[in-house]
Amino acid sequence: MNRKEVTYSSKNTYETLNKLSASTKNIWLVFHGMGYLSKYFLRYFKDLNADENYIIALEAPSKYYIQPKMHVGANWLTRENTEMGMHNILNYLDAVLENETVPLDKNLIIFGYSQGVSIASRYVVKRQLQPLQLVLHSGGIPKELTADDFKFLNSDCKVKLIYGTEDEYLDEARIKIERQRAENLFGNRLDILPFDGKHVVNVDYINNLV
């Protein structure tokens, strides 16, 4: 068997919350976890001040049915052709930012949850974005990324590592490894914010980020 490649045009959607205006202070790029759609993920951000916060919820290109109720969910990447998949996702993310024409004078907050952590962190590195905050919530940082990859970040960029102490996908050993890895990558710009809870989005932390 011979594996071959083709290049073709594709379309994908994304969702926004609130209006981008002169009153906007913060622009959020938010990356959902596996099984979400962007329109549902946006609900976690609805309590933020609508005048000051404009949220752009990206959506993974691969859709699938979730048993047993056959809800539709989305998935960012798998271990199959990861590099090619990430290349396609980067093109999609670039197109979204171009379409939104994000002003440079606003605070940029990049938020990844669960599987979205890997996409958010790779996108920051690949495009050398300068967020005021990089929020990594309940997900693993890609193993290929190193401290040198993040040296370009401005000194005022804060990185928040958020996770539930009862997360069903984490045990004490994994938590220790992820915390140490984050400390090695981000040094004194890192804030570690555990909470009592499982693998869920912590809305209280979201509301207190700004």
Q: Which pLDDT score, from 0 to 100, does residue 63 have? A: 94
Q: Which tens digits make up the pLDDT trace of 5-30?
A: 998 899 999 999 999 999 999 999 99
Q: Which pLDDT score, from 0 to 100, does residue 102 have? A: 85
CB–CB of 75/64 below 8 Å? yes
Q: Which tens digits make up the pLDDT trace of 51-108?
A: 999 999 999 999 999 998 899 999 999 888 899 999 999 999 999 999 998 888 899 9
HSE at residue 59, side-chain half, CA atoms within 13 A, is: 20
Q: What is the mean pLDDT of residues 101-130?
A: 95
How far is 158 from 111, CA to CA, in rounded Å?
A: 12
Q: Which pLDDT score, from 0 to 100, does residue 54 have? A: 98
Superfamily of domain 15-208: Alpha/Beta hydrolase fold, catalytic domain (3.40.50.1820)
Detail the DSSP E strand segments found in the chain.
15-17, 26-31, 53-58, 62-66, 71-75, 107-113, 133-137, 158-164, 190-195
Residue 153 binned pLDDT confidence (cut-offs 50, 70, 90): very high
- The conformation of residue 17, written as its DSSP 8-state character, comes to E
141, pLDDT greater than 90: yes
Residue extents of the structural domains in the chain: 15-208
Q: Which tens digits make up the pLDDT trace of 162-201?
A: 999 999 998 889 999 999 999 999 999 999 999 999 999 9
Q: Which pLDDT score, from 0 to 100, does residue 29 have? A: 98
Q: Which pLDDT score, from 0 to 100, does residue 8 have? A: 87
How far is 163 from 194, CA to CA, in rounded Å?
A: 5
How far is 112 from 93, CA to CA, in rounded Å?
A: 14
Question: How many residues are there in the chain?
Answer: 210
**Global pTM?**
0.95
Helix then strand then coil, in percent of the chain rounded to 5, is 30, 25, 45
Q: Tell me which long-range contacts 86-91 makes (C-beta under 8 A, separation of at least 24).
A: 86/119, 86/122, 88/10, 88/61, 89/60, 89/61, 89/119, 89/123, 90/123, 90/126, 90/127
Q: Determine phi and psi for 176, rounding to 5 degrees.
A: -60, -40
